[in-house]
Every structure is written in structure tokens, then in C-alpha cells.
Structure 1
């Protein structure tokens, strides 16, 4: 059974949002920490509306002050 890209992006976004909240960061905090990512980008990611590039993934991890590997530690339902 093939999983759609849309579903993967939505699950990834849900995971990012959950991680952000667990860490205690706002979207603005991520932007301030990374400086190469916008609040609109963070919002789009969390809502599953953005297919990320590698550099955006790295900026997101930097903004969240986590290892990039943590961004991939989620289940696709």
C-alpha cells in the first residue's frame, strides 16, 4: 500500500508541531534561533503544506535546537 506524499507531509508537520511544543518553543522562537527560516515556512511545515528542501530541514533543526535526526523519528499512520 503506497502512502501519499500529502499524508507524509501532514504526519511530519504534526510531529514537528508536537516536538516544538514539547521543547517549549513558539514558531517565533524557531525563527529567532535559525534566522534562515520564516514563521510562514514553519507554519506551512506544521500544517503539511510544504515539501522541504534539505537546507530547510537543517534550518528547522537548528531553530528547534535539536539534532536533525529527531525530525525523522515519527510514525506514518
Structure 2
């Protein structure tokens, strides 16, 4: 994975964590809402450590009670 991909995963993870915290959800609650994610997966995504499949994005959105579009709506700085 190159530096740009790593940076994008990190920014995405920060965005996911922000959504979760603003929703008042714990990682455990996200897992319970989605039924297909593990706490480790949610943690890895939030920390920018996991490159994941599109279906995981859908499961994550379900767990956070948002649309996949909401998850993809984050700023990417151009360098």
C-alpha cells in the first residue's frame, strides 16, 4: 500500500470514529447493529489499519445507522 492509500484510510477512519462518537455509539453497539462486523474490524477501520471490501462499508454504515454515502462524505486534502 502506498502513502496516499494509507493517508486515505487514516482520514476515513477518523471520519468513521467521529460519526460513531457523535451518534453516541460504542464500538460494541456498532457491532451489534451490523451483525456482520467484529469489534476488531471496527477498531482497525477507525485507526486506518484495515483496507476493506465494499460490503464491509455497507455493514459499517448499517452499524452506525447512516448511509454509505455519509461514510464517504469526508474531506481529502490534495497534496
TM-score of the superposed pair, with normalisation by structure 1? 0.93
C-alpha distance in 1 between matches for 2:13 and 2:19? 10
When the two chains are superposed, the root-mean-square deviation of aligned CA atoms in Å is 1.0
Deviation at residue 8 of structure 1 after TM alignment = 0.2
C-alpha distance in 2 between matches for 1:49 and 1:75? 19
Write the deviation string for residues 14-49 of structure 1: whole angstroms up to 9, x where unpaired.
000000000110000000001100000000000000
Deviation at residue 74 of structure 1 after TM alignment = 0.4
The count of corresponding residues between Structure 1 and Structure 2 is 75
Give structure 2 stretches of 5+ with no counterpart.
none
TM-score of the superposed pair, with normalisation by structure 2? 0.91
**Runs of 4 or more off by more than 4 Å in structure 1?**
none
Give structure 1 stretches of 5+ with no counterpart.
none
